[in-house]
A and B are shown apart, each in its own frame.
Chain A
Amino acid sequence: MELKLRLAHLYPKLMNIYGDRGNILCLERRCRERGIGFEVTELGLGEKMKPKEHDLVFIGGAQDREQRRVAEDLVKEKGKALKEAAAKGVVILAVCGGYQLMGRYYRGAEGEELPGVGVFGLRTEHPGPGAKRFIGNVVVEWQGGTLVGFENHGGRTHLDDGVEPLGRVVAGFGNNGDDGGEGAVCGNAYGTYLHGSLLPKNPRFADHLIETALRRRYKDLEMAPLDDRVEEMAHAAAVRLATRRGIISV
Chain B
Amino acid sequence: MRRIAAIAAAKATAALSQRLRMGGGTALPGLVAERVDPHIVPEMARRLGQGSVIVTGTNGKTTTARLLRGIVRAAGLRPVANRAGSNLMRGIATALAQAAGLDGGFAGAKRRLGLFEVDEATVPEAARALRPRLVLFTNLFRDQLDRYGEVEHVAAVWRDAVRTLGGSATVVLNADDPSVAALAQAATGRVLFYGVEDTSRASEGLEHAADARWCSSCGSELVYSAVFYGHLGHWHCPTHCRVARPSPRVVATRIEMEPEGTSLMITMPGGEVSARLPLTGLYNAYNALAAVAAAVALGIESEAIERGLGSFTAAFGRQERLTVGGRRVQVILAKNPAGLNEVLRTITADGEEKDVALFLNDGIADGRDVSWIWDVDFDLLAGKVRSLTVSGNRAWEMALRLKYAGLDTPSEVEEDTATALRLALRATPEDGNLYVVPTYTAMLQVRELLARWARQPAFWETS
Contacts and interface: CB of A to CB of B under 8 A. Distances in A.
Contact of A237 (B208, B374, B397, B404): B397
Contacts of A179: none
Interface in A204-250: 230-231, 233-234, 236-238, 241, 246, 248-250
Interface in A139-158: 150, 152
A20 B375 CA distance: 8
Contacts of A200: 374, 400-401, 404
Given A19-B372, A248-B361, A250-B444, A135 B146 contact: yes
Given A19-B375, A201-B397, A230-B403, A63 B152 contact: yes
B31 to A, nearest CB: 14
Contacts of B221: 13
A13 B361 CA distance: 28
B396 A241 contact: no
B152 A18 contact: no
A29 interface: yes
Contact of B374 (A19, A63, A137): A19
A230 B219 contact: no
B178 to A, nearest CB: 14
B374 A25 contact: yes
Given A64-B150, A200-B400, A250-B441, A136 B368 contact: yes
B394 interface: yes
Given A248-B363, A250-B365, A250-B444, A18 B372 contact: yes
Interface of chain A: mostly helix, strand, loop or mixed: mixed
B152 A65 contact: yes
Contacts of A249: 441
Contacts, number: 102
A69 interface: yes
Contact of B375 (A18, A63, A64, A201): A18
B399 interface: yes
B239 interface: no
Nearest to A238: B397
A26 interface: yes
B396 A233 contact: yes
Interface in B149-202: 149-152
Interface residues of B, number: 41
Contacts of B413: 233
B78 interface: no
Nearest to B404: A25
B73 to A, nearest CB: 30
B404 A29 contact: yes
Interface residues of A, number: 37
B370 interface: yes
A69 B215 CA distance: 13
Contact of A21 (B146, B208, B213, B214): B208
Nearest to B152: A65
B397 A150 contact: no
A200 B81 CA distance: 44
A21 B375 contact: yes
Contacts of B403: 230
Nearest to B409: A230
B369 interface: yes
A220 B373 CA distance: 37
Given A197-B374, A234-B397, A152 B145 contact: yes
Nearest to A45: B221
A17 interface: yes
B374 A18 contact: yes
B371 interface: yes
B95 to A, nearest CB: 19
Given A18-B369, A25-B374, A233 B399 contact: yes
B369 A150 contact: yes
Contacts of A150: 146, 368-371
Interface of A: 13, 17-22, 25-26, 29, 63-65, 69, 133, 135-137, 150, 152, 195-197, 200-201, 230-231, 233-234, 236-238, 241, 246, 248-250
Given A21-B375, A201-B397, 11 more contacts: A19-B372, A65-B150, A136-B368, A150-B368, A150-B370, A200-B374, A200-B400, A233-B396, A234-B397, A248-B363, A250-B365
